[in-house]
Amino acid sequence: MDIRCTDKTQVLRYAAILIDIADGAGRDYDELINEGRGTSYWIHLAVRPEGGSEGKNRRKLIFDFK
């Protein structure tokens, strides 16, 4: 899933909310990538299915602003 944001501050706020929700629900995510290019900002959240052949969710957190 990708979430478009208005600026870097909103990216960081939404990322913190998503991590809090995952922690509170006891659910893992595979990747939470916070990205920005020029004036475009977004969050990419990926979750691997439980028991799937792709393996375990890694809780990988990346910040990639250029």
Predicted pLDDT at 38: 93
Predicted pLDDT at 52: 66
Angle of CA points 24, 30, 33, to nearest 5°: 95
The 10s digit of each residue's pLDDT in 11-60 is 999 999 999 999 999 888 999 999 999 999 999 999 988 776 777 888 99
The conformational region for residue 53 under phi > 0 = left, psi -120 to 50 = alpha, else beta, is alpha
Q: Where do the structural domains in the chain lie, given as residue ranges?
A: 2-65
Q: What is the pTM of this model?
A: 0.83
Q: Which of the 8 DSSP states describes residue 28?
A: -
CA distance 3 to 63: 14
